[in-house]
Structure 1
Amino acid sequence: MHIGVVMNPIAGMGGRVGLKGTDDKVAEARERGAEPRSPDRARRMLTRLAEHDASIRISTAGEPMGASIVRDAGFDPEVVYDPDSGLPADVGLPEGGEDDEAATSSDDRYANASTSAADTTAAVEAFAAAGVDLVLFVGGDGTAADVATALQGTETPMLGVPAGVKVYSSVFAVSPEDAADVAVTFDRTERREVMDIDEDDYREGEVSPELRAVASVPVADALQSSKQLGGGTVEALAEGVARDVEPGVTYVLGPGSTVGAIKAELGFDPTPIGVDVWRDGEVLVRDATESQILEALGEENVIVVSPIGGQGFVFGRGNPQLSPAVIRRCDVSIVASRSKLDELSVLRVDTDDPELDAALRGWTRVRIGAFETRMIEIV
């Protein structure tokens, strides 16, 4: 098998610092202390891929788009594109990769990485020319659109390792490990949607996904659906949650229209796609970043979050401010309209912390009305 691997090193950096995305916001994200997310996601996928078969042939792009992390995982890649020169070249680290300490570092080497959509497109075009059987990319919806553009006119399938903030498209695996599993087991493909949104509109609370492409993607259960908007009324649900708030408890209220109705019922104007922190009738932080949430937490804390319609993600899509550090200090209350939950057979989590993901999995109770709850499994 021959796989092309490319990483967008800045994908998802704006999430935990409250920027809702990274398009045109890289410098501001860094000023706010954002750390690269893609390298760890890529490493998790490649580690699983090596566990399946370390002899898989891999083509990749030079740093900072994947070469050293592919080597870290034990592969000997063919580097077919150099983002520094824009030309094919074998660049990056010497054969064999870094030592173990460097390979498990915090990825400081990517802190100031800079690449463009043109680099992604050129790298993927080089993969197609090299005859890869699959393109595995690490990024978000914008990266997916760039990959799909580069593969137009070919039969080469693509599969995403989710690392962006929004991840609306249905071309992504559920987790990095799932991406590796699908890559080595799929035997057929299907056409799936590549969606993206205008991040400036998104930051203003306007969510209008736009179809950017239709791409060939492996057929597998471990792929997410396109994000759908939830239906049904949430007034009774919001009234019930607001009625049951407890004094002294800090409520971390996630994004989206369902939790937005709860915020309105609590008496304040919600941040439509941000996280607001509330306690004892006071909004402590609006549109909070991860660090602001952590600073505002008290002795008792509850995250109130609603799954994404059509996908079922509770954590890991659209709410990276709710990081593992935040989740571990809070109880979790999941809410959803009946109609939204009716569309979902399971819920999902993808927090960037596999141990936390495992701890969150299992049967959980979701509030669907003023008093009603329903059991559903997080897988």
Structure 2
Amino acid sequence: MTRVGLVVNPVAGLGGRVGLGGTDGPERPRRAVALGARPPAGPRATQALRALRERGRALGLDLVVVTVPGAMGADAARAAGVAPVVVGDTWPTRTAPPDTTPADTVSAAHALVDAGVELLLFAGGDGTARDLLGALEGARCPVLGIPTGVKMHSAVFAVGPGAAGEVAAAWLAGGGGVRLREGEVMDRDDTALSEGRVASRLFGWLPVPDVPARVQQRKTGSTATTGEASAGIASEIAGRVGDGLLVLGPGSTTHAVAGALGADASLAGVDVLAVRAGRAEVVARDTGETGLLARIGSGPCWIALSPIGGQGFLLGRGNQQISPRVLRAAGGRERLLVLCPEHKLAALGGRPLLLDTGDPDVDAELTGYLPVLTGHRRISLYPATG
């Protein structure tokens, strides 16, 4: 029998759609729940386990899922139709977010390694990866992240929940050429953010199955967008939007373009801009899904996003506020503007833009070649995939 471990961070990703960013610390999860956030970690872990079970059967794996009680694993396993082996008899009785803590994640990891798992799947974000980095020091237990957090700059996550299950099955089956590599554990540098820069900090490495198309790259630092490129892209946006509303995603590229339009946009949040006569002003800052839907109303409006440097994620990383509901309300594919200077696009090396909205239908609608605004009167058609 092949033993795979599962640990779920129930508070991971809670702040995404409500516009709170990450859920580090005890207060943000409570605030997110008060704003109506629903925990995404459990359902995404369930999706990954379903893919693992299906692919595992095809590969002839005799799988046993080993996990811990309640919302930190067993609930997701049972929802996937898996009868897990549950360890940690003295586990805390807390089962509902926002009551779990990083210490619970560390304790769960220790219990699963002691149970002899061959691969540890974890549902969380960069903070969870950092917790596991400390917990697994010296253990050399391979890990694979089910992307559930808000940012996920680390190179230890699959590109989506289904991919996590498929990669796990391929590695556990052996003989398929899947090797381990050292994946960087990264997290956002809050000091840099306070200085007006988007940057990540390296905390260490964890062994991860190496399937390049299905396991994400780490986020790389963005080269500053030149004034000429920003002005050129801003001009293209003004021509398309006319006098109307523009939902602007996070990041240094979009921030620079907003500045070229005369707007002081936030760097890490999602803003709504009113565009008029080639100029823009922020009318809603750091807005969550509910606020975006209220601003859009009956629509349509425009949505402008820039992919994450190095990773290529367009949706589903750091901009969960721009949910499938928001995308549909705005007008779908025809109202999506992709902003990416040529040097940033070239750095992807031909790898496609990535979509992980949580809605397969929306990902499918956006899959294909998307027009990318790279400068004044410069448009590249570039592939995107879910």
Q: TM-score, normalised by structure 1?
A: 0.89
Runs of 4+ in 1 over 6 A off after TM superposition: none
1:23: which partner in 2?
24
Structure 1 residue 223 corresponds to structure 2 residue 215: yes
Structure 2: distance between partners of 1:184 and 1:203: 41
Structure 1: distance between partners of 2:303 and 2:18: 18
Structure 2 counterpart of 1:337, one-letter code = P
Structure 1: distance between partners of 2:223 and 2:190: 23
The 5-angstrom pairing of residues 169-208 of structure 1 reads 169-186=154-171, 187-197=178-188, 202=193, 205-208=196-199
Contact map agreement 1:12 1:139 (CA 8 A) in 2: yes
Structure 1 residue 162 corresponds to structure 2 residue 166: no
Moved more, 226-235 or 342-351: 226-235
**Unpaired segments of 5 or more residues in structure 2?**
172-177
Relative distance call for 1:118 and 1:200 in structure 2 (3 A) is farther
Structure 1 residue 272 corresponds to structure 2 residue 283: no
Structure 1 residue 212 corresponds to structure 2 residue 225: no
Question: CA deviation digits over 1:25-49, x for unaligned, max 9?
Answer: 1112122222111112112111212
Q: Secondary structure at the match of 1:51?
A: helix
Relative distance call for 1:46 and 1:305 in structure 2 (3 A) is same
Structure 1: distance between partners of 2:196 and 2:124: 22
**Unpaired segments of 5 or more residues in structure 1?**
87-91, 93-108
1:328: which partner in 2?
328
Structure 2 counterpart of 1:39, one-letter code = G
Contact map agreement 1:232 1:339 (CA 8 A) in 2: no
Q: Secondary structure at the match of 2:122?
A: strand
Structure 2: distance between partners of 1:140 and 1:152: 19
Structure 2: distance between partners of 1:12 and 1:276: 19
Structure 1: distance between partners of 2:192 and 2:369: 36
1:317: which partner in 2?
317
Structure 1: distance between partners of 2:222 and 2:345: 9
Aligned-CA RMSD value: 2.1
Contact map agreement 1:309 1:340 (CA 8 A) in 2: yes
Moved more, 330-339 or 276-285: 276-285
Relative distance call for 1:202 and 1:61 in structure 2 (3 A) is farther
How many angstroms does 1:233 deviate by?
A: 3.4
Q: Secondary structure at the match of 1:178?
A: helix
The 5-angstrom pairing of residues 79-228 of structure 1 reads 79-81=86-88, 84-85=91-92, 110=96, 112-186=97-171, 187-197=178-188, 202=193, 205-221=196-212, 222-228=214-220
Q: Secondary structure at the match of 1:226?
A: coil
Contact map agreement 1:142 1:196 (CA 8 A) in 2: yes
Q: Secondary structure at the match of 1:368?
A: strand
1:370: which partner in 2?
376
Q: Secondary structure at the match of 2:344?
A: helix
Structure 2: distance between partners of 1:83 and 1:248: 61
Relative distance call for 1:52 and 1:83 in structure 2 (3 A) is farther
Q: TM-score, normalised by structure 2?
A: 0.87
Contact map agreement 2:229 2:374 (CA 8 A) in 1: yes
Structure 1 counterpart of 2:10, one-letter code = P
How many angstroms does 1:204 deviate by?
A: 7.4
2:35: which partner in 1?
32
Contact map agreement 1:139 1:163 (CA 8 A) in 2: yes
Structure 1 counterpart of 2:69, one-letter code = G
Q: Secondary structure at the match of 1:57?
A: strand
Q: Secondary structure at the match of 2:71?
A: coil
Contact map agreement 1:19 1:203 (CA 8 A) in 2: no
1:102: which partner in 2?
none
How many angstroms does 1:198 deviate by?
A: 5.1
Structure 1: distance between partners of 2:149 and 2:190: 12
Moved more, 253-262 or 3-12: 253-262
Structure 1: distance between partners of 2:123 and 2:114: 20
1:105: which partner in 2?
none
Q: Paired residues, what number?
A: 357
Q: Secondary structure at the match of 2:87?
A: strand
Structure 1: distance between partners of 2:189 and 2:216: 21
Relative distance call for 1:78 and 1:302 in structure 2 (3 A) is same
Equivalent in 218, 230, 238 of residue 238 of structure 1: 230
Moved more, 115-124 or 279-288: 279-288
Structure 2: distance between partners of 1:268 and 1:175: 34
Relative distance call for 1:204 and 1:292 in structure 2 (3 A) is farther
1:13: which partner in 2?
14
Contact map agreement 1:306 1:336 (CA 8 A) in 2: yes
Contact map agreement 1:366 1:373 (CA 8 A) in 2: yes
Question: CA deviation digits over 1:124-143, x for unaligned, max 9?
Answer: 11111111110000000111
